[in-house]
Amino acid sequence: MELRPLGSQGLMAPPMGLGCMGMTAFYDVNHDEHEEISLRTLDRALELGVNFLVSKGFASCGRNEELVGKAIKKHGRDKFIIATKFGAEYTADAKPVPHLGRPEHVRRHCEDSLKRLGTDYIDLYYMHRMDPTTPIEETMGEVKKLIAEGKVKYVGLSECTAAELRAAHAVQPISAIQMEWSLQTRDIEKDIVPTARELGVAIVAYSPLGRGLLSNTFKSRSDIKENDWRRFNPRFSEENFDTNYQNTLKIKAVAERKGCTPAQIALAWLLHQGKDVFPIPGTKSPERLEENAKAVDIVLTAEDLQELSTISEAKVIPSPLTLMAWK
């Protein structure tokens, strides 16, 4: 895949990345069974040019970064563009630890991530949640020090508001924001996307396949296993599932007309939103990765885009930003 600017600070990346979180956490993961498959998926990602890997230090106690670290060790650090996050930590009873924007936590998380990844620098370092108890100037001040030390190359924010993006960008130029954006989650389009574009900040779209609904992974709520986090997501509740699934069938009909899969049409829709949009669909499967990667070649007409947008507006789904905010 050809590289394109990810933000205006100098970082270059392919138009589509790979979200790695689900390889080790949240989505029906058996670590012993899935690690070998996930590593083969990372091998295949490199072969396809999908070398923008997005990890999380807290996803299943650091296992996610350790997994990505094994791919780095096998293929070499220069083969990958690595993104990971700071500012998220849980207590033993699964409650979020507060004040994680403080400098001492920022540095500790960075050092821990570098160790797990087996590298001496992170390409794109996101602040995972905004910390209302710590001025953004303090947080970004410590990030600046990490940049000066060569441990961080570029900076991002995740799950921020437009105002928070402006405040952070005024202290330390932000390269990208990572937000949920898909045909089923479009609440960032009103304020956050225009602000990012004004500031020259790229939008990295996570869960671009609606956490599996847009890829036709589930046909009924009973398809979701008991240990899968999605059972607790309002999108998959008994109240919402059927309506949302009916919308996916309409999207599937568009995909069939275009000669592609529902996942490919959903990713193509995002890619058509602008060259500053970088979807990062997650998967443990090399075959699904190959399917997703082909979305970069799909051309949608203005009529296709309008039809898909109309379908996606038929059901308002609870905002993940509201559901997951730590404030």
pLDDT class of 234 with cuts at 50, 70, 90: confident
In this structure, of 56-70, 156-170, 222-236, 296-310, the range with the lowest mean pLDDT score is 222-236
Residue 49 scores a pLDDT above 70: yes
CATH of domain 4-211+262-298: 3.20.20.100
The tokens describing 30, both together, are 């058996």
Provide CB contacts within 8 A for 278, sequence distance 6+: 6, 13, 15, 16, 17, 52, 176, 202, 203, 204, 205
Give the DSSP letter string of 226-242. Answer: TT-GGGGSGGGSTTTHH
Residue 221 scores a pLDDT above 70: yes
* Lateral strand order in the sheet of 176-180: 18-19, 52-54, 81-86, 122-127, 152-158, 176-180, 202-206, 277-279
CB 105 within 8 A of CB 99: yes
Interhelix angle 262-271/302-312, nearest 10 degrees: 110
pLDDT class of 9 with cuts at 50, 70, 90: very high
Separation of alpha carbons 213 and 230, rounded Å: 10
Separation of alpha carbons 300 and 298, rounded Å: 7
| pLDDT tens readout for residues 247-292 | 888 999 999 999 999 999 999 999 999 999 999 999 999 999 999 9
In this structure, of 131-135, 177-181, 214-218, 313-317, the range with the lowest mean pLDDT score is 313-317
**CB neighbours (10 Å) of residue 38?**
24
CA torsion through residues 240, 262, 26, 82, sign = negative
- List phi, psi (to 5°) of 87: 90, 25
Q: According to DSSP H, which parts of the chain are helical?
A: 31-48, 63-75, 103-117, 136-148, 162-171, 192-199, 241-258, 262-271, 286-293, 302-312, 320-324
Query: How many residues appear in the chain?
Result: 327
CA dihedral of residues 12, 17, 21, 22 (deg, nearest 10): 180
Residue 326 scores a pLDDT above 90: no
**Predicted local distance difference test score (pLDDT) of residue 211:** 79
First-residue to last-residue Cα distance in the chain? 39
**Predicted local distance difference test score (pLDDT) of residue 28:** 59
Buried b (16+ CB within 10 A) or exposed e, 7-30: bebebebbbbbbbbbbbbbbbebe
Domain ranges in the chain are: 4-211+262-298
pLDDT class of 73 with cuts at 50, 70, 90: very high
**Predicted local distance difference test score (pLDDT) of residue 242:** 77
β 12-13/4-5 pair status: antiparallel
**Closest Cα partner for 317 from 161, 180, 214, 184?**
184
Helix or strand run (H / E) with residue 222: none
**CB neighbours (10 Å) of residue 39?**
17
CA torsion through residues 181, 185, 188, 189, sign = positive
**CB neighbours (10 Å) of residue 80?**
21
